[in-house]
Amino acid sequence: MPSEITPREVWRERRRFVQTGVAALAAAALPGPAGAGHGGRRLAFRPAPGPFRTDEPPTPFKHVAGYNNFYEFGTDKYSPAERAASLRTEPWSVTVEGACEKPGTYTLEDILRPHPLEERIYRLRCVEGWSMVIPWVGFPLADLLRRFAPTSQAKYVEFTTLYDPEQMPGQRRRVLDWPYVEGLRMDEAMHPLTILAVGLYGEVLPNQNGAPLRLVVPWKYGFKSIKSIVRIRFTERQPLTSWMKASPREYGFYANVNPTVDHPRWSQARERRIGEFFKRKTLMFNGYAEQVAHLYRGMNLRQHF
Ligand code: MTE
């Protein structure tokens, strides 16, 4: 199941990553022409402090934006970069529902306006056994959720991706029960490491990376980091996520990176950093144990995998 980077990328990377939906981010964008970097519009941001940026070298952009999981555009790693141009990220809005005092439908501009952007350099560990280091641009999810004034009934937050098979051709096949749904416990959602990302490598998110707005939870397997979010719902009950529906024995709600709890079909003890040859040891909570272990004190992580 773990997949390898192949030379296919060498030519695939030359394909341009079509940028749409950047107007919604114009308020955050720097003046002047589109960035010279990777073809997307540059964002204005400041670097995040210490614990929010690993000093490990970032994975080259060609892999970050060329080797993806985004089943809405196909189940192989190269289809998202080839096909995600059909996603229209503008206009975009997010509906907020459930246990909160300020439900409603918010435009992307409404969502983003009050939040200064930061660069966070995080490890991303995919459940399939590969990992990357990604310089995200985003802001703490907690700061956004507080604006909706969640009530005491809000024990969890559920996130939903856009459902539109016209724009997301992979949704014509029932590989998952669409739309893609993920969720976090409220304390996980409010943790300072948890962010909503709008960019990477200093530019607006390529569509294949979950434009215009995606979750990033660095101590959990990558599948928790849901892309292209259109709905946020506060719930009292634990959300039923797409991967739990598809295969509850394999994909738990917590999905914390844990080298001591294997996937039923493969070991999770090691991982391949994309771009490197030798495998490396997977770290507990993906190396973020100091910051997050307390969230799970007293829980049996074999049972709550
Ligand atoms: N979100 C949606 N909507 N659909 C997906 O298929 N794949 C997940 C996650 N978010 C996925 C998704 C998985 S398995 C991983 S590893 C990460 O996105 C990959 O993020 P990246 O392509 O930006 O590296």
Q: Note whether 229 and 94 are within 8 A (CB).
A: yes
Per-residue confidence at 50, pLDDT binned at 50, 70, 90?
confident
For residues 61 and 249, give the distance between their C-alpha atoms in angstroms, rounded to a whole number: 34
What distance in angstroms lies between residue 209's CA and the mean position of ligand 1's atoms?
Answer: 7
The pair of structure tokens assigned to 256 is 């914390």
**At 83, is the secondary structure helix, strand, or coil?**
helix
- What tokens does 287 get? 């190396």
Establish if 242 belongs to a structural domain.
yes
> For position 34, what pLDDT does the model report?
44
Q: Is residue 301 a part of any domain in this protein?
A: no
Asked whether residue 170 is assigned to any structural domain, the reply reads yes
Quick check: is 200 in a domain?
yes
State percent of the chain over pLDDT 70. Answer: 88
The DSSP call for residue 150 is: B
Cα dist from 297 to 157, 222, 274, 294, 304, whole Å: 21, 22, 32, 5, 12
At 195 the pLDDT is 98
Region 57-61: what's the mean pLDDT?
Answer: 98
Res 230 pLDDT > 90: yes
Q: How far is the C-alpha of 213 from the C-alpha of 239, rounded, in Å?
A: 20
* Percent above pLDDT 90 for the chain: 87
In a domain, 302, yes or no: no
Higher pLDDT, 244 or 6: 244
pLDDT at 8 over 70: no
- CA-closest residue to ligand 1 atom 16: 222
176 Cα nearest atom in ligand 1: 6
What pLDDT, on a 0 to 100 scale, did the predictor assign at position 12? 42
List, in sequence order, every beta strand (DSSP E) within the chain: 46-47, 93-98, 104-107, 118-125, 130-140, 156-161, 181-185, 195-200, 203-204, 214-216, 229-235, 270-273, 280-281
Domain that holds residue 96: 2-296
pLDDT of residue 26: 46
Mean pLDDT for 201-221 is 98
pLDDT at 2 over 50: no
Q: Tokens 């997301």 sit at which residue?
A: 168
Residue 36 reports pLDDT greater than 90: no
Instruction: Compute the average pLDDT of residues 252-279.
Output: 97
Maximal CA-CA distance, the chain: 53
Quick check: is 305 in a domain? no
* Number of domain units in the chain: 1
Substitution candidate for ligand 1 out of 71, 207, 209, 223 with most atoms within 8 A of CB: 223
pTM: 0.90
pLDDT at 32: 38
45-54, 128-137, 191-200 — which is least confidently predicted? 45-54
What is the domain-level CATH number for residue 252? 3.90.420.10
pLDDT confidence of residue 51: 84
Please state the rounded mean pLDDT for residues 208-217: 98
Confidence bin at 37 (pLDDT 50/70/90): confident
Which ranges of 72-199 would DSSP assign to H, the alpha helix?
79-83, 108-112, 141-147, 186-189
Q: Cα of 298 to ligand 1 centre, how many Å? A: 30
Kindly state the tokens that stand for 259: 């080298």
Tell which atom from ligand 1 comes closest to the C-alpha of 68.
22
Q: Is the pLDDT of residue 19 over 80?
A: no
* Contact assessment for residue 207 and residue 89, using Cβ atoms and an 8 Å cutoff: yes
Instruction: Give me the chain's average pLDDT, please.
Output: 91
- The pLDDT tens digits of the residues spanning 77-91 come to 999 999 999 999 999
Amino acid at site 108: L
Query: How many angstroms separate the alpha carbon of residue 228 from the centre of ligand 1?
Result: 10
Residue type, 84: A
Residue 304 forms part of a structural domain: no
- Dihedral angle at the C-alpha atoms of 222, 167, 82, 227, nearest 10 degrees? -20
Q: How many Å lie between the centroid of ligand 1 and the Cα of residue 268?
A: 18
pLDDT at 111 exceeding the cut of 90: yes
